[in-house]
Structure 1
Amino acid sequence: MSAIAKGLKRRGRLMAQAVSPPRKTLDAIPTQRPPERPQQASADYTAPLAPRLVQSPAFVLSSVRSGSTLLRVLLNSHSRIRAPHEMHLRTVHVRMSREFTADAMKELALDREELEHVLWDRVLHLELSRSGKDVIVDKTPPNTLIWPRLHRCWPDARFVVLLRHPGAVIQSLTSRRAEPDHEAIRAEVLGYAEKLEEARQSLAGAHVITYEDLTADPERVTRGLCEYLGVPWESGMLDYGKQDHGTFRPKLGDWSKEIKSGRIQAARQADPTAELPPRLAEIAKAWGYPV
């Protein structure tokens, strides 16, 4: 090959390299995260209320060990009311995993809280649709601790406030725990009682009942509940054992032999000799219980 030909060939190779540089593998390319941007605008943003699929769900507000599972199965025995196991919506969260996600959601008129509200609403709607009924009631006791947020999520929500003598709640919790921490139990019951009293005072349209009345006169109490929920009363509600309410197991509601019996049983009364902490005694008195 002549010197001129060799020179032209070499020149061609150099031009090709300039136009098409050698490729790098993905492993060879350094990954660089974009610089973090201040999130003041997104953090301060409050999204407007999105449309709800379930406009007026009902929530039972109660302490633990207050008969909410009995109330659930009585309501779930109605042909138009779906009262599922404890749904624990407050523990269903949305996580924005990148620094720009909040800005993206803001463009859709959403923030993290409203995203969670949309998800909660979808869960209720899905359960209601599956049941073929038209009224849904969630009776998860810890909902009591977040009732203002539930009210924010569903401005037209209905609330059933289920009360029980705080002394009886303390006794029930103590008897169910192998090594009861008495101070912790009293603090737990007081925490629920404070939020229940707050809801009772703040929710003007709430329907207030007691566990003692529910077990002593279930027809009268369930008739009042049906009127509040806008459905006709059905006598079959009182014979809840003939209906399928799913499995009774821990973390989803009461699973005791009493609730599994399918029969309404009398409420255990509080020990009249047991002394309540001052604030619990004050709340119990406000609820009409002897202290």
Structure 2
Amino acid sequence: GQLDDAVMHCLRAIELEPAQTLARKNLGDCYVQMERLEDAMEAYADAYELDEDNAGLCVAIGNVWLETGEPAEAASWFHRASMLEEDCIPAHCGLANIEREQNRLPEALARLQPLYEQQPENIELLLTLSDIHWDDGDAQSALNHLYTVQKLQPQRTALYAKIGHILASAGDVDGAKARYREALQQQPQCIPALSGYATTVKGKLDSAHVEQMETLLHNPKLKPGALASLHNGLAFYYDGKKDFSRAAEHMAQANRLQWQHKQIRGWEHDTVQYENHISRLIETFTPDYFQRVEGLGNNSERPVFIVAMPRSGTTLTEQILARHKNVLGIGERNFATQSLNRYTGNKAAQNISPASFNTLNGKLVQALAQDWLDRLDRLAQQSGKADIRRIVDKMPDNYSLVGWILTLLPNARIIHLKRDPRDVALSCWMTQFGAIRWACHTEHLIHRIQQYQRIMQHWREVLPGRFLEIDYELLVASQEKESRRLVDYLGLPWDENCLTFYESDRLVRTASITQVRQPVYRKSVARWKAYRELIPALFEPLS
């Protein structure tokens, strides 16, 4: 971590031997770690002038382009590296990461799987595959790859923290805490472990770790991303201690620094663009549209979708249903978006227009629907659970794709989870999402909630009675009554196991962390009131 000294030695090496590529490459690597991406690119460019046929250098340049949100430029450098070295795994991992960012997860997995079969212990390959599986909602596969890395490199402290994060997000709180503690035993100042541990145990975090985190905040060498993680962990700690004023301060700092960290990497969020996207959906999926597509899709009754804003109770609802003997929960899957991308020729879902659906290709719709069902069947077979009649996908963002889902799967059951938007706003404001770009600014967050409300009202008007709406507040207040409504809607007999959802040992992707493994969590109702005077800008537009 002594990056300033490392840079000094690289510069001295260049001074001693100006024609050496390695010193310039190492200098660029140091600058990347210091988040000085422009300086890194300049160092790599100097090295490239000396050695144009260096595949590793091409990969490094591609990675900087990818970091700064320029996937097309990045791809050209990764392709050059793979031409120089056909089996250049870092180059293929770079291309897979581009596909991952574009939500083309099947393509990313297909690219890396043959390489994995040849080199099952390649560290970079294992880490990239783990990230792809995690994005695809497959927590167990993501963990399996990380466990392999752990066996190969047990001294890799950050890996323990990464495993802890997945375990916590998948509901294995005890396993997560154990991993975080292991990381902190190896490296007491491991920021991902400190932050993850604080987020998991909240107000029960011991004072030594709190003091460590507070001290690290004053380290001038820490970059915005690391500082954001520390503030986020401390926000959860002080919230657990009911010191809401300090918690609110740390939330604000965490979001400000998170955005600063991501902006360097090309992050942006255009509220006008998203509002226009919702407008195009409303213009596309009209009553006339649903009359035209009637009979095109597959009539399977197996699929079930839980849709909502993030942090609205989708995980709780899925866990209740997944305890039923005839129900399989598959977590958050990107199948809806992926099928829409395939229909539109891999155009971004936000670029669709009514013209794209004027004349639907019936054969393609049937093929996409069958492919979707085949993927569900494979997950059912892998689960080992017998007599599965319903398969539940809890991807919250599918709220905008209800029309598309019912085009392909007209008999799918859709459950809409509603929660007080002020509690949704607070929960999103507190959570450091990995990929969500609209939760770091209050105005972005509020706008997203308002557009969600707008499209859901549209679905109510054009698809009356077509989906079940559940109030989160009623679900936690009257669990059995609302659980029976859910099971009845699925057309299944009642199963008492649905009342003990917290006893499940399934790994599910969620940001809810500890709530999945405990009885119904009533403290999350009206939490926003504790912050009403502290973050008024977050709540007033939603009141």
Q: Name the TM tier (shorter chain).
A: 0.5 to 0.7
Matched with 1:233 is 494
1:139 to 394, 398, 422: 394
Matched with 1:94 is 342
Distance 1:171 1:194 in 2: 20
- Contact kept, 8 Å, 1:87 with 1:138, in 2: the verdict is yes
- Asked if residue 206 in structure 1 is aligned to residue 461 in structure 2, the reply is no
1:197 to 432, 453, 457: 457
Matched with 1:268 is 525
Matched with 1:120 is 372
Judged with a 3 Å threshold, the aligned counterparts in structure 2 of structure 1 residues 168 and 48 are, in CA distance, closer, same or farther, namely closer
Structure having the higher Rg: 1
- Contact kept, 8 Å, 1:76 with 1:245, in 2: the verdict is no
Distance 2:342 2:367 in 1: 7
Matched with 1:223 is 484
Higher relative CO (Cα under 8 Å, sequence separation at least 6) belongs to: 1
Distance 1:115 1:183 in 2: 41
SS of the residue 1:161 aligns to: strand
Query: Could you tell me which amino acid in structure 2 is paired with residue 118 of structure 1?
Result: Q
Matched with 2:309 is 63
Q: Normalised by the size of structure 1, how large is the TM-score? A: 0.66
Matched with 1:37 is none
Q: Normalised by the size of structure 2, how large is the TM-score? A: 0.37
- Contact kept, 8 Å, 1:60 with 1:137, in 2: the verdict is yes
Displacement after TM superposition at 1:151 (Å): 0.9
- Contact kept, 8 Å, 2:313 with 2:472, in 1: the verdict is yes
Displacement after TM superposition at 1:78 (Å): 0.8
Displacement after TM superposition at 1:149 (Å): 0.4
Where structure 1 has 5 or more consecutive residues not aligned to the other structure, the ranges are 1-45, 98-107, 282-290
Judged with a 3 Å threshold, the aligned counterparts in structure 2 of structure 1 residues 177 and 253 are, in CA distance, closer, same or farther, namely closer
Distance 1:164 1:225 in 2: 16
Judged with a 3 Å threshold, the aligned counterparts in structure 2 of structure 1 residues 48 and 263 are, in CA distance, closer, same or farther, namely closer
Distance 1:110 1:253 in 2: 35
Displacement after TM superposition at 1:184 (Å): 1.3
- Contact kept, 8 Å, 1:239 with 1:263, in 2: the verdict is yes
- Contact kept, 8 Å, 2:299 with 2:411, in 1: the verdict is no
Judged with a 3 Å threshold, the aligned counterparts in structure 2 of structure 1 residues 254 and 177 are, in CA distance, closer, same or farther, namely closer
- Asked if residue 158 in structure 1 is aligned to residue 427 in structure 2, the reply is no
Distance 1:164 1:51 in 2: 31
- Contact kept, 8 Å, 1:166 with 1:193, in 2: the verdict is no
- Contact kept, 8 Å, 1:94 with 1:115, in 2: the verdict is no
Distance 1:83 1:127 in 2: 10
Displacement after TM superposition at 1:138 (Å): 1.4
Query: Could you tell me which amino acid in structure 2 is paired with residue 94 of structure 1?
Result: R
Segment drifting more, 62-71 vs 151-160? 151-160
Matched with 2:327 is 81
Matched with 1:110 is 363
Segment drifting more, 156-165 vs 190-199? 190-199
Matched with 1:242 is 503
Where structure 2 has 5 or more consecutive residues not aligned to the other structure, the ranges are 1-291, 347-360, 434-438
2:510 to 253, 257, 262: 253
Matched with 2:289 is none
Distance 2:460 2:294 in 1: 27
Matched with 1:284 is none
Percent identity reads 21
- Contact kept, 8 Å, 2:301 with 2:413, in 1: the verdict is no
- Contact kept, 8 Å, 2:418 with 2:469, in 1: the verdict is yes
Query: Could you tell me which amino acid in structure 2 is paired with residue 181 of structure 1?
Result: H
- Contact kept, 8 Å, 2:297 with 2:410, in 1: the verdict is no
Matched with 1:38 is none
Displacement after TM superposition at 1:124 (Å): 2.0
Segment drifting more, 127-136 vs 185-194? 127-136
Deviations 1:65-116 (A, max 9, x none): 101011111110111111211111133243879xxxxxxxxxx9633x5543
Deviations 1:130-163 (A, max 9, x none): 4321112211111111100001111112111110
Displacement after TM superposition at 1:205 (Å): 3.1
- Contact kept, 8 Å, 2:336 with 2:405, in 1: the verdict is no
Query: Could you tell me which amino acid in structure 1 is paired with residue 331 of structure 2?
Result: H
SS of the residue 2:325 aligns to: coil
Distance 2:505 2:466 in 1: 31
- Contact kept, 8 Å, 1:58 with 1:137, in 2: the verdict is yes
Greater percentage in helix: 2
Distance 1:189 1:127 in 2: 32
Number of residue pairs matched? 218
Judged with a 3 Å threshold, the aligned counterparts in structure 2 of structure 1 residues 189 and 54 are, in CA distance, closer, same or farther, namely same
Displacement after TM superposition at 1:47 (Å): 9.5
Displacement after TM superposition at 1:129 (Å): 4.3
SS of the residue 1:94 aligns to: helix
Judged with a 3 Å threshold, the aligned counterparts in structure 2 of structure 1 residues 228 and 109 are, in CA distance, closer, same or farther, namely closer
